[in-house]
Structure 1
Amino acid sequence: MSSLESNIRRVLDTLLPRIQLRCQSSSQPVILGITGLQGSGKSTWASKIVQLLATEHNLRTVTISLDDLYKTHDDLIAQRNKYPGNKLYRTRGQPGTHDEQLAAQFFKELKGYRGDGELKIPSFDKSKFNGEGDRAPKEQWHTITAKPDVVVFEGWCVGFRPLSAAAVEEKHRLALAGKLPVNTPANHKLEHLLQVNESLKRYCDAFMGPQHFDFMIHIDTEDVRNVYKWRLEQEYKLIEARGTGMKDEEVAAFIDGYMPAYELYLDGLRKGFFDAESGRQVRVVLDKERSVGKVEEL
């Protein structure tokens, strides 16, 4: 067994008794959030957890990614045109670039689904429009015909919660003064950060706040600058496999698009997604080499 699989099992075993109890006591599926930094291996964690829950614990498990809830290509273009000065909206990714109505409706239907008929899971095709992406045709969406026991919902900003306008302003001030780890909020106007923050507030109200989850796994690191190294290593592997990929400076620019949110919202997630309720969140802290340094139960 690889050390990665061993660590995944260790974390899953921490939550498993509670997940099983919740499955037995509720008619609704358990919603397990998995959130992690770019390059941390979040997708690998999610797919392995789905496999383990299904094959070793006989729990019917499905997964959905926040990426599958993006707006259509036309709506992404409209979003970009609506805020032409906001660099954070030039590409998909940030809160505000997902279809909030689709997400809220899907999770509402999911929680009420009892295996009566078919339920389709939204899908987004990132290859369309030269990589800008578009929603996949509905006939290509994955279909389930039985009520799932567990739904794994993974995404890079799953677990982030909005700040007050004053707190965003303070983070922006600290970045301008060079007092944050990378200071990327300083690369953006305060009003643009507040636009994303307002979108995140709507997300949390509609489908992504703690009231919509049962458990959360957070893959983190003590030094957020490690993300640049991890994502670069991933790109080198892609280039080795495909023969093409992003240059080093393009990878850094890609991460720069996510880093302002990390610097704004990670502190809140580290304090606990479920506020005073303990035992529902596990924080996995990776070192620079992506080895698990510690596991915290919050």
Structure 2
Amino acid sequence: MSKGPHAAAEAGFPDAFVARCLDDALAHGARVYGISGLQGSGKSTLAAQLARLAGECGIRAVVLSLDDAYLDHDERARLARDVHPLLATRGPPGTHDMALATRTLDALRAGEPVALPRFDKLADSKRPGSEWPRADNVELVLFEGWFLGAPPEPDAALADPVNALERDEDPDGRWRRWCNDALARDYPALWRRIDRLLFLQGPGFDIVPRWRWQQEQSLQAGHPDRKAMTRAQVERFVQFFERTSRQAMRTLPGMADTVAPLDGERRPL
């Protein structure tokens, strides 16, 4: 296998690892199998591989991403105006349409027909509802997201900034406290809909800028006529996720049902 920077991302996870993950979901009767992990850790790749393998086994499976429940640009602009300017940027707790996410998961768990939301990251808005794929009689939902299952931080942990973004653009801590409050208030109900949680444990947050840049390059390659982020923009963007990512790395190894350590090329260890 090639050991270049895109090797694991392009090749996906080893078949044996994917099979073990599917066995884990089926052995515990999971209707909703959660996949959590750092940005760029391969969650969507693994979810797609699991869906294909499930289909080969005669199991009706669909993939749902927390990213597809982002609030639209205009909705976040209102939050930026009314609460804090940093809320214009999608991603952190509080920038998701929680009603849409929970309603979709509930319908899928019940085997009811439902349209699966899709978010256009380059356009920074939900795709038109007419483009949302339909699902019915689903037996397994592969639900992935970068902070699935993460709990809020204690108030005392919010006092000091974790990076330059927080230091320079959130000096009084108002943005990070608002996001942490949203994580405590709005997300536990969604986490409870996950029957079993897999945590892809990356080697540390320092790998995220490289992983996220690889994602952006792939996104741009798939849509050469549209503008993706530059490397400098990615470096700033990942700082929005650092605090909650570090909280997830501290807590999820002891909370997730299954933990899969990864190396810097996303290979299971």
What is the TM-score normalised by the length of structure 2? 0.82
Rounded Cα–Cα distance in structure 1 between residues aligned with 2:94 and 2:184: 10
1:91 to 83, 89, 92: 89
Partner of 1:125: 120
Please report how far the alpha carbon of residue 246 of structure 1 lies from its aligned counterpart in structure 2 after TM superposition. Answer: 3.4
Matches within 5 A, 1:40-189: 40-55=41-56, 57-85=57-85, 87=86, 89-113=87-111, 115=112, 118-127=113-122, 131-133=123-125, 135-145=126-136, 147-166=137-156, 168-169=157-158, 172-173=159-160, 175=161, 186=167, 188=170, 189=172
Partner of 2:39: 38
Matches within 5 A, 1:234-249: 234-236=215-217, 242=224, 245-249=228-232
Q: Secondary structure at the match of 1:212?
A: coil
Call closer, same or farther: CA 1:19–1:237 in 2, change over 3 Å.
closer
Rounded Cα–Cα distance in structure 1 between residues aligned with 2:32 and 2:188: 16
Pair 1:250-2:233 in alignment: yes
TM-align CA RMSD:
2.9
Rounded Cα–Cα distance in structure 1 between residues aligned with 2:220 and 2:31: 38
Pair 1:220-2:201 in alignment: yes
Q: Secondary structure at the match of 1:106?
A: helix
- Which structure would you say has the larger Rg? 1
Matches within 5 A, 1:196-215: 196-207=179-190, 209=191, 211-215=192-196
Does the 8 Å CA contact 2:72/2:124 hold for their aligned counterparts? no
Q: Which amino acid aligns with 2:118?
A: S
Please report how far the alpha carbon of residue 47 of structure 1 lies from its aligned counterpart in structure 2 after TM superposition. Answer: 0.9
Please report how far the alpha carbon of residue 7 of structure 1 lies from its aligned counterpart in structure 2 after TM superposition. Answer: 4.2
Rounded Cα–Cα distance in structure 2 between residues aligned with 1:76 and 1:198: 17
Does the 8 Å CA contact 1:184/1:259 hold for their aligned counterparts? no
Call closer, same or farther: CA 1:62–1:233 in 2, change over 3 Å.
closer
Partner of 1:13: 19
Return 5+ residue gaps in structure 2 as ranges: none
Call closer, same or farther: CA 1:47–1:16 in 2, change over 3 Å.
closer
Call closer, same or farther: CA 1:234–1:22 in 2, change over 3 Å.
closer
Partner of 2:264: 288
Q: Which amino acid aligns with 1:229?
A: R
Please report how far the alpha carbon of residue 132 of structure 1 lies from its aligned counterpart in structure 2 after TM superposition. Answer: 2.8
Rounded Cα–Cα distance in structure 2 between residues aligned with 1:239 and 1:101: 30
**How many residue pairs align between the two structures?**
259
Residue identity over aligned pairs, in percent, reads 27
Q: Secondary structure at the match of 2:205?
A: coil
Does the 8 Å CA contact 2:37/2:146 hold for their aligned counterparts? yes
Could you list the per-position Cα deviations for residues 127-151 of structure 1 after superposition, in whole angstroms to 9, with x for gaps in the alignment?
A: 4xxx332x33333221123x21110
Partner of 1:190: 173
